[in-house]
Amino acid sequence: MRLSLGTRYLIVGIGLMVLSVVLAFMMVLQILPSTFFLNGLTYLASLVGLILGVVGVAYQVQFTRRR
């Protein structure tokens, strides 16, 4: 089964959002040190995940309307 472009964007976006939540939670529990780099990485993963998720949903809506 081949996934459409929107589905792939959505999966990657959700994965990045989950990664950012896990990293932030691990920093709160002090499992990982809260460094500037790690905070920036968490923020960027969340931002890029959100953008990819929105783009993925837009692609899915466009793909569904064409059918």
Range of the domain at 20: 5-66
Kindly report, residue by residue over 1-50, the tens digit of the pLDDT: 788 888 999 999 999 999 999 999 999 999 999 999 999 999 999 999 99
Domain count, the chain: 1
Distance CA(6)–CA(43), nearest Å, equals 23
Show the tokens assigned to 28: 């709160």
Res 1: pLDDT: 75
5-6-10 Cα angle (round to 5): 120
Distance CA(32)–CA(39), nearest Å, equals 11
Res 49: pLDDT: 97
